[in-house]
Amino acid sequence: MNKKTVQPSERLQKVIADQGKGSRREIERWIEEGRIQLNGKVAKLGDRYKPGDRLTVDGKSIAVRSISKQLILGLMYYKPEGEVVTCSDEKARPAIFDRLPKCKYGRWISAGRLDLNTAGLILLTNNGELANRLMHPKYQIVREYAARVLGQVSETQISNMLRGVELEDGTARFETIQDAGGKGSNHWYHVSLREGRNREVRRIWESQDITVSRLIRIRFGSLQLDRGMKAGEYRQLSFGELNRLLNKTGLPPIKLRRTDKRQHYSALPSSKQTPRKARHSNKLPRKLRDTYRQHHN
């Protein structure tokens, strides 16, 4: 007796996000609004897609490709203070997407957010599953920040923040705290953690009655904010950088032919906001190093 082959299936929101159409949360909202059809019927939350199914969003058909066959793109963006990480803002504040080039394959999805008054490294990709995994606590991806704080910081306070403090949404702690120098109101620390909760870095400091006057994300996983990069600039991630992110999150690597590589590198328009090829270093961007040097002397 022949056994029936069971076709693998995946949640609709995951499949559509993988195609770079939006984040999972956005797509769940589209399903609730009746904008998505599966095999000619209005989709419902909980529906699953399997190979051969027909998918449409707002009446437009979606060609579903496996992640190994997609053209995956990534951007590094140096977010300035005063910009929001959203496509639309009720207060009409400047958004990071206002500066970014149009993505020719899907749309840009940010791997997490930085609040209005936090600057630094934002990673973006056109692959929803990669963006989701980069944000997910399961993958324990380290984020590192440069924090300028007001007031004296004692060894007891540092020990408390490394051991863990209670916030309104649970326990939080820094993985590492390094004194980066400076005096008085210009004292800097480098801190790292493996979560991305809302204002988490600031709230950990505030639990010790210490105010953060400036906060800059300088590393996300294996990627360091490029030396010499200025606020508001972006650059495309290389194959190696993308593959390290894919490997860290358990996704298959990019394997492209030479012709595909040319297509990959032409996927973004040239721009005055795209810095020259990055020089990788463990050092901070030049502007930050100059700031530190000024206050260390």
- The per-residue pLDDT for range 236-295, each reduced to its tens digit, is 998 899 999 999 999 888 876 665 555 555 555 444 444 443 333 334 455 555 544 444
Pairing of strands 211-220, 118-125: parallel
Regarding whether 192 and 157 lie in a shared domain, the answer is yes
Regarding whether 209 and 77 lie in a shared domain, the answer is no
Contacts for 113 with CB less than 8 Å, ≥ 6 apart: 85, 86, 122, 196
Regarding whether 231 and 96 lie in a shared domain, the answer is yes
Regarding whether 258 and 115 lie in a shared domain, the answer is yes
Q: Is residue 121 part of a domain?
A: yes
| CATH code of the domain in which 211 resides | 3.30.2350.10
Q: Is 115 a catalytic residue?
A: yes
Q: Report residues of the chain scoring pLDDT below 50.
A: 1-7, 269-284, 291-297
Regarding whether 101 and 59 lie in a shared domain, the answer is no
Nearest to 199 by CA among 236, 168, 163, 242: 168
For the chain, what is the domain count? Answer: 3
Regarding whether 112 and 154 lie in a shared domain, the answer is no
Q: Which domain holds residue 182?
A: 142-220
Please state the pTM of the whole predicted model: 0.72
Range list of H helices, 88-238? 128-135, 155-163, 200-206
Regarding whether 125 and 91 lie in a shared domain, the answer is yes
Regarding whether 149 and 119 lie in a shared domain, the answer is no
Structure tokens of 157?
């306070």
Regarding whether 229 and 130 lie in a shared domain, the answer is yes
Distances (CA, A) of 50 to 20, 269, 297: 18, 35, 63
Q: Is residue 292 part of a domain?
A: no
DSSP 67: G
Give the other-Cβ count within 10 Å of 19's Cβ.
23
Q: Which of 18, 115, 169, 260 is catalytic?
A: 115
Question: Among positive and negative, which fits the CA dihedral 169, 196, 161, 139?
Answer: positive
Measured distance CA(272)–CA(270) in Å, rounded: 7
Q: Is residue 283 part of a domain?
A: no
Measured distance CA(84)–CA(95) in Å, rounded: 5
The per-residue pLDDT for 283 is: 45
The per-residue pLDDT for 187 is: 92
The per-residue pLDDT for 257 is: 60
